Amino acid sequence: MSVIRVLSGRAWVWSFLGMFLVWLVTAVYTGGKGSADVITAALSFATFTVIVGIGQMFVITTGPGNVDLSIPSTIALSGAVAMKLMGSSNDMLAIGLAASLGCGLAVGIFNYLLIRVLRIPPIIATLSSSFLILSTAIAYGRGLKIKPPPMLAEFTTAQVGGVPILAIVIILFAILMSVVLNRTVYGRSVLAIGQNMRAAWLAGINVERIRFMTYVLSALLAAICGFLLSGFSGGASLNMGQEYLLASIAVVVIGGTSVAGGKANVPGIWGAAMFMFLLVTMLNTLGASAGIRLIMTGLIIVAVITIAGGDEPQR
């Protein structure tokens, strides 16, 4: 009984348990054939979800109503801008990365201005800015078929003993962000604001500066994701960010972060991203059609929030 209580107190453990379970089922079904490759693939693809998931997590943790809907369009814009600037040349790599980060910074600042100056609810603010960003990306990257610089392509697809290099980098990054969340003034402030924005302000936290930094962080991570993703998939495409809107929110929720704010978990995002990918793989292996895979994904999100959501004190 006490084991269950401890586990339910640490919701992120479930995402790892789930991950392990679906992997096991897949491995048993295939008789262990290719089960290592499955892990490699899962690591590769989950990496990108984790990058944007971490940004989304910080945004969601600042409290109810905070969510960044502009992540997909930022991915598209950053990818398009970087690819076009670099023109498949290794020499331009640094400039391309800088341009990507510049896009992210601009998006983050713009989102925050809409929220702060026009007092638009964050959901609507990031939604309307995503329209503008996506259009810019479409117009800028029209007919874009530029290959990424070879170095970038290599870096994003390289493996060491079946483990993608990029995944290792992002695991290290996740550890770093976990430290930022729990051990820095910024992270503590985010957690405080998410529990009670008014109390945080009255406890001496500069609420507006923290929210600004959070929206900029989310946009920057989306931009980095766009940059790496276009290297990984051999060029930028305009709809490459699409799936990350739902995925970024889903991994945050499944990873044990509270939608009511104030409680966040970075490792859970890795677990959830792996779980989501492996779940689809498992259903694939079992011969489930695309429709069933989608339905299962959706039902799991609803089930997780129904079980986890009711216990949280919602305000």
Query: Would you tell me which residues interact with other proteins (CB under 8 A)?
Result: 64, 67, 114, 117-121, 123-124, 127-132, 134-136, 138-139, 142, 179, 183-185, 188-189, 191-192, 195-196, 198-206, 246, 249-250, 253, 259-260, 262-263, 289-302, 305-306, 309-310, 313-314
34-37 long-range contacts, Cβ below 8 Å, gap at least 24?
A: 36/162, 37/162
Nearer to other proteins, 213 or 300 (CB): 300
CA distance 111 to 108: 5
Torsion angle, alpha carbons of 222, 227, 230, 233, to 10: -80
The nearest distance, CB 173 to other proteins, in angstroms, is: 17
Nearer to other proteins, 31 or 119 (CB): 119
The nearest distance, CB 279 to other proteins, in angstroms, is: 12
The nearest distance, CB 274 to other proteins, in angstroms, is: 18
The nearest distance, CB 152 to other proteins, in angstroms, is: 26
Nearer to other proteins, 5 or 198 (CB): 198
Note whether 48 and 276 are within 8 A (CB). no
The nearest distance, CB 151 to other proteins, in angstroms, is: 30
Q: Cα dist. 18→56, 73, 161, 291 in Å?
A: 22, 30, 25, 21
CA distance 83 to 102: 14
Nearer to other proteins, 20 or 186 (CB): 186
Residue with tokens 């259009």: 135
The nearest distance, CB 164 to other proteins, in angstroms, is: 26
Nearer to other proteins, 213 or 296 (CB): 296
Nearer to other proteins, 47 or 129 (CB): 129
CA distance 170 to 196: 31
* Those residues with Cβ within 8 angstroms of residue 26's Cβ, 6 or more apart along the chain or in another chain: 35, 38, 278, 281, 282, 285
